[in-house]
Amino acid sequence: MAKTEVILTHNIVGLGGESDQVKVAAGYARNYLLPQGFAIPLTSSNKRRIEALKQRRAEREAHEFNTMTELAKGVQKLICVIKVKTGEDGKLFGAVTSGMIADELKHQFDITLEKRKIHLEHPIKTLGEYEIELHLHSDVKSTLKVHVQSLTPIAAEVEAASAAKADESKRPRTEKRGHGRQAEGEKAEAAPEGKEKKAHAKSEKAEKPAKGKHEKKGKGE
């Protein structure tokens, strides 16, 4: 394939920035770069423009650095909520990707960010909270909090039920101890009552024989 050398007049991702001299396919230069004004042919007259292109590149990169630095500070305070469909067990149908996060940033906060700047080691496949690393610039990094929530009511109920169970599992121990102490108190109260009844019964038995003897004496007299 025939190659040609051109001077870039604009930043082309994956190719180079302003003032870079690059070799590209002749058809790519002829049909895209040159007509769009993204590059100029490498000639002695065009080489004179390189210094001006370098100056423009420096200004662009400085502006990008400042913009990304400000964005890095602001995005750390945000919480990006992504709602997805899940099964009854709370598992996602599919996965959350960097493209989805970029779309939600645009939708929720009107922040335009290329998905390649959202660094995911692997797609998110479970509900929960995540801290995602952002590569905003070669010299600027930041993090974004992402909350993945379920759109499925059943899954949401499962989450609430599991949370309630987790809370309840902490309570029975203290309640059981309380019931045990209460039972001991009831037994302690019941014991004196039993003793009083027995003592009362003995006193009644002791009184009855005494009455009988008295009556017999009365008859004999």
Q: pTM (2 decimals)?
A: 0.59
Residue 106 is predicted with a pLDDT of 95
Model pLDDT for residues 138-189, shown as the tens digit of each residue:
899 999 999 999 987 655 555 566 556 656 665 655 444 545 555 555 555 5
Residue 217 is predicted with a pLDDT of 47
Report whether pLDDT(43) > 80.
yes
Model pLDDT for residues 90-143, shown as the tens digit of each residue:
788 889 999 999 999 999 999 999 999 999 988 898 999 999 999 999 899 999
Domains of the chain: 3-73 (3.40.5.10), 83-168 (3.10.430.100)
Query: Rounded CA gap, 150 and 126, in Å?
Result: 10
Residue 158 is predicted with a pLDDT of 57
**Which amino acid, residue 150?**
S
Report whether pLDDT(30) > 80.
yes
Query: What number of other Cβ atoms are within 10 A of residue 81's Cβ?
Result: 12
